[in-house]
Copies of this chain bind each other. A is one copy, B any other.
Amino acid sequence: MTEQQFHRGGLLIVGLGPGGPEWLTREAADALAQASDLVGYGPYLDRVERRDGQVRHTSDNRVEIERARHALGLAARGQIVALVSGGDPGIFAMAAAVFEALESGEPAWRALDIRVLPGVSAMQAAAARLGAPLGHDFCTISLSDNLKPWSIIAQRLRAAAEADFVIALYNPASRARPSQIHEAFALLRELKGAATPVAFAKSIGRPTERIVLSTLASADPSMADMSTLVLIGSSETRLLPRSAGVRPWLYTPRLYGGGR
């Protein structure tokens, strides 16, 4: 199914994974090689090897739905388009924007051959570096309130605390709205234990990669920027010491209630 070639145009929504090329899947690498046109936000396109004969459509704005429409338009004109996305396009990335554009766009676009190519998402790369914090039930919440009201975010954080989920926070802060992550921590501090482990995983897989472990009580939320994935443990998430001077592992056991 995935090896089928396009005979007319089509749209491949390609997940690059976070950081470097080591997390690219074989399917994604093949799609990038096969495409006639690459569409993407500049910093993502910069991560893709240049090939003769491929046309690059670099977007320098962050409006994802415009990029999605551009890619759909090219595919409708017969091009084989790779729309590149960081992480997994299906998780807070380009895939949903494409289907929004499809729903509101030209009826002919509905007949296009569209494929989503999954990738490693930021929370998975962060979890791998940390140990296994997502080893048990978890939830994934975007703190961006460009796209939903804060009341919905707050309701979801409260439910996540009540369910004792491990919580992965995407888009924790930006220059335009630095207060969100502070409000999220204030809310969670009322509902979860002070010693709950917290991790800030910044720019995982890139040269500026940085991981900070803390607790819910003592963590400084202002450490989080838009390239940071914030993980907040469940009541079971724990530290596991390694050798002296080495950051301990962080993991959530599969068993609930401490029995092992």
The smallest C-beta distance from A167 to any residue of chain B, in angstroms, reads: 9
Q: Kindly provide the distance from the CB of A165 to the nearest chain B CB, expressed in whole angstroms.
A: 6
Chain B's nearest CB lies how many Å from the CB of A201? Answer: 12
Contact B110 A147 (CB under 8 A): no
CB–CB A240/B102 < 8 A: yes
**Which of A18-26, A53-61, A212-220, A222-230 lines the interface with chain B?**
A18-26
B120 adjacent to A118 (CB under 8 Å): yes
Pick out which of these stretches binds chain B: A36-44, A73-81, A128-136.
A128-136
Size category of the binding interface on chain A: 35 or more
A88 to B118: give the CA distance in the assembly, Å. 12
User: In the assembly, what is the distance between CA of A151 and CA of B90, in Å?
Assistant: 31
Query: B257 and A148: CB pair below 8 A?
Result: yes
Instruction: Please determine whether B165 and A139 come into contact, CB atoms closer than 8 angstroms.
Output: yes
**Nearest CB of chain B from residue A118's CB, rounded to whole Å:** 4
Give the complex CA separation of A220 and B34 in angstroms: 40
A255 at the interface (CB under 8 A from B): yes
Q: Could you tell me which A residues sit within 8 Å of B by CB distance?
A: 1-3, 17, 20-27, 29-30, 64, 88-92, 95-100, 102-104, 110-111, 114-121, 124-125, 127-129, 131-142, 147-149, 152, 155-156, 158-160, 162-165, 209, 240-243, 249, 251-257, 260
Between-chain CB contacts (< 8 Å), 20 pairs: A23-B118, A26-B26, A88-B120, A89-B132, A91-B135, A92-B136, A95-B251, A98-B132, A103-B240, A111-B242, A114-B249, A116-B127, A117-B128, A118-B120, A118-B124, A118-B127, A147-B254, A156-B164, A159-B159, A159-B162
